[in-house]
Structure 1
């Protein structure tokens, strides 16, 4: 099953640095197998492999770990050296403080902070440049996932906040960060239980070298640990879709999780989602992955995803993404209203 897809807003954001430096981004999009015309559709999405290819292409083109988004260049290898410098620390708090100090040595580098406030720890990014908000978000995500990797367990975030106003894709943020979010804050950052700062590091040099071969994109990717109810339900639906186009009912999933249907609905609501929304997400991401990464005929893909008619699949796909399946497959302009690809 495909990993969760990525909104086109993040594709546009990651391109801003290259565009600011005068690079032609169309060849980079094509190399990543992302139809450039998708960038004009606010509801469009790309697969994780497409975004990873774009990220790596931008990395090569800019020779900058911040992809041209920062006020200064971060030369390739900087992040790796910070990780090696932090790995020998006795606990997570010392490792993060060493990383913050490390980046503070570079003129124009990110102004990172780590604060301990009683039972809560706060990691954040000070920035006076609104255009750098995407970079600040990425830094918070990468540091959170790096910290979880260092201690070998997912560190639950209590909250995340962002300097910028709510963007059009604000509903993506709770999924991306896995916690309540708010916008218009004094700075971009996240809070988590302070006891994690005392956790010992469990990784060694060999594990670090392996992780760095996949970084930083693997750290930006939303890894599902199966610890939330939504993740458990989504994983069960994804497994079911691999073997059958008929997804199980809410009652069947509730029985697998040993809870009542009412309890499952309530827990999903507490996580700001629903069973229908998770079903749509699983089908949407499978559809986009099938169109972008494979050559399966659209009619067969529709049937595999549980649509009895090709037209029903087209209607659902337009509702999910704002355009047609053919726009994802061929890189052609989206069909006009009422026309099917």
Structure 2
């Protein structure tokens, strides 16, 4: 499926630690090629490469794997060492408990917990009220992704809960966590079937080294395992959009998946989404990526995404992001054939991708939604 874009709320949240330390975040945003003015619009979104670059800028500026969001700093390399300590465990249960014990050795570190609650296994953050809420959410996201990576299987979450009131972007959470969510709980955490804890680990040191090189987005993004109906539908739509502006109808996708249209609608509703939402998300993310990463004229981009008129594309884009395609692209350094940025007025953006530092990709809503 096409890479999802990320809400500006997560961009603001990941900057909070650096701001509290008095770091000037405007150069960091420009280094990540995110126009600073985007932060003023609640509907704005950025691409995955832009968000990844921002993490690396923040990591370099703070030298803290928690990016200044925690009550105490986490020195670079801490997450990698925890992973190495857990890699030789017999099963996932032992690996998670070793990781929890590892972080428990650090004063001021996150108070992580793995426990049973009724028929569920629960991974949570006990002291998230004393930390940045966003950091607590990210710790749960990262541990869920890490556990799935360790056993080579996606672990479906049954529910997720958060120790804070619903934020303005609350609708992003079910897409991010892939399960029902609730706010105002005692702590931030997520529940899953405990049988996953008996799964053996299938990764080795070489695989770990490769994963750490791709941090932070290897763990922050919601990897598409193709196990949900929404992922299957989204992948069909994204592939179709790469070859034709006409997207397949719900009936056509249902036929490909060998189910009736009514069954497909019901299953998507059970996953808290719909065909229309998935279609809009695929077009939205392709539009943002095209504006940030490509240099094609807006009219050409609109036609490629299936809009018969520029005005229809502008209306849809404003509905998705709160701004116009032209304003979104303003100041972006258009790439020349040699890769060098062409001169433009105002400030700059576009994606990058150096290797990660191997430290904990803490802080941010992988949040791609």
SS at match of 1:19: helix
SS at match of 1:42: coil
Match of 1:228 in 2: 228
Alignment partners' CA distance in 2, 1:88 and 1:277: 42
Alignment partners' CA distance in 2, 1:112 and 1:131: 12
Alignment partners' CA distance in 1, 2:170 and 2:294: 30
Q: CA deviation at 1:195?
A: 0.8
Match of 2:277 in 1: 277
Q: CA deviation at 1:326?
A: 1.6
Tell me whether 1:56 sits opposite 2:27 in the alignment: no
Structure 2 unaligned residues grouped into runs of 5+: 332-345, 348-369
After superposition, give the CA deviation of every residue in 1:105-153 in whole Å (9 maximum; x if it has no partner).
Answer: 0000000000024532100001253661000000000000000000010
Contact 1:254–1:260, Cα closer than 8 Å, also in 2? yes
Q: Which has the higher contact order (CA 8 A, sep 6+)?
A: 2
Contact 2:115–2:121, Cα closer than 8 Å, also in 1? yes
After superposition, give the CA deviation of every residue in 1:37-64 in whole Å (9 maximum; x if it has no partner).
Answer: 0000000000000000001110011000
Alignment partners' CA distance in 2, 1:130 and 1:299: 49
Match of 1:263 in 2: 263
Aligned 1:108-257 pairs, distance under 5 A: 108-117=108-117, 119-127=119-127, 129=129, 132-257=132-257
Contact 2:113–2:125, Cα closer than 8 Å, also in 1? yes
After superposition, give the CA deviation of every residue in 1:43-88 in whole Å (9 maximum; x if it has no partner).
Answer: 0000000000001110011000000000001000000000000001
Contact 1:42–1:322, Cα closer than 8 Å, also in 2? yes
Q: CA deviation at 1:304?
A: 0.2
* TM-score, normalised with respect to structure 1: 0.95
Aligned pairs, number: 333
Match of 2:25 in 1: 25
After superposition, give the CA deviation of every residue in 1:18-47 in whole Å (9 maximum; x if it has no partner).
Answer: 000000101111111111000000000000
Alignment partners' CA distance in 2, 1:128 and 1:305: 42
Structure 1 unaligned residues grouped into runs of 5+: 334-341
Tell me whether 1:3 sits opposite 2:3 in the alignment: yes
After superposition, give the CA deviation of every residue in 1:241-289 in whole Å (9 maximum; x if it has no partner).
Answer: 0000011111101100001111111111111111111111100000000
Q: Which has the higher helix share?
A: 1
Instruction: Provide the alpha-carbon RMSD of the alignment.
Output: 1.3
Alignment partners' CA distance in 2, 1:226 and 1:2: 13
SS at match of 1:43: coil
After superposition, give the CA deviation of every residue in 1:199-239 in whole Å (9 maximum; x if it has no partner).
Answer: 11011111111111112332011111111111110100000
Alignment partners' CA distance in 1, 2:130 and 2:323: 30
SS at match of 1:283: helix
Alignment partners' CA distance in 2, 1:290 and 1:280: 15
After superposition, give the CA deviation of every residue in 1:294-338 in whole Å (9 maximum; x if it has no partner).
Answer: 1111110000000011111001000011111122212479xxxxx
Which range moved further: 79-88 or 122-131? Answer: 122-131
Alignment partners' CA distance in 2, 1:327 and 1:278: 25
